[in-house]
Amino acid sequence: MALITTVFSTKGGCGKTTTTANLGGILASLGYRVLLIDADPQPTLSSFFPIKHPASRGITPLVRSESGLDISNCISETTIPGLSIIRSDDPNGDLITYTQQTVVARYRLKTTLKQLSGFQFIIIDSQGANTTLLQTAVIAADILLSPISSDMVSSREFIRGTLPLVNELREMEAYGTPPIGNLYGLLYKMDRTRDSQSIVRELTDETFFPSEARVRIMETIVPSRVAYRMSATQQRPVHEIDADARSIMLDLAKELYPAIASRIESACQGVET
């Protein structure tokens, strides 16, 4: 059964798609079968990597849980070995309306994905706004990852927008809904200035203790580097472009998924497991 991670924020432009693509890329480079899912009506992830074998369908039938659906018809193969994708096919945002009107649909995606075989990791990229489609992606996840840009506005949006969304969904657990995954905050495009240090302190104080440790600011920090922009431009995983970025992506994967630490350590040493 695949481990599902949703990369999300209630704020746009914080690095969700880049993080999703490159986390998937580094996991595939370690020999895992990885499925990316573009759950954003603005389908940036869908074109991040070249497609070798395009599927006839995308995410819409998964969210709608269409009867008799063959999920293989929704999975496209990228040119990156081991990396597949379910592309966004909802340019008008019809799935937002659908999940608004059909509450149970917000919970079906998790069930559908848990029945999917052949992948060790599933990573969902979501839209940067608090909609019922975003909530559907959050509910589907075992792990939640939220990039936080290196400014006070973004950090406070995490505290005032992203956290309340997760806490609201967690309140539904008392009524028998599936548990919401632990939330990891990832400092993105962070430098070493005094402002950055203040952001780290504020986020840690505002999240860890009030959440009873179900929210954690990650030790891994993604710095601002040209390589991440080059990754999108060249349609290549960043670990193939920049050695330091490769180390950061390996650190991110190790911190998110400690069960694969030994394979990551072997990769860092250049030894096959």
- At the second CATH level, the architecture of 3-148+226-268 is 3-Layer(aba) Sandwich (3.40)
pLDDT at 106: 92
Burial class (CB in 10 A: 0-12, 13-18, 19+), 192: exposed
Token digits of residue 48: 């991040």
Tell me the C-alpha distance between 217 and 78, whole Å: 31
Each domain of the chain, given as residue ranges in start order, spans 3-148+226-268
The answer for 125, left when phi > 0, alpha when psi is -120 to 50, beta otherwise, is beta
Asked whether the beta carbons of 96 and 41 are under 8 A apart, the reply is yes
Instruction: Check residue 19 and give its pLDDT.
Output: 96
What is the pLDDT, as a whole number, of residue 178? 87
- Pairing state of beta strands 51-53 and 76-78? antiparallel
Global pTM reads 0.92
**Strand-by-strand arrangement of the 3-7 sheet:** 51-53, 76-78, 83-86, 34-39, 121-126, 3-7, 143-149, 182-190, 215-223
Nearest CA among 111, 107, 113 for reference residue 75: 113
Length of the chain: 273
Whole-number pLDDT of residue 194: 47
Give CA–CA dist 44/85, Å, rounded. 12
With a pLDDT cut of 90, the percent of the chain lying above it is 64
In the predicted model, residues of the chain with pLDDT beneath 50 are 194, 209-212, 271-273
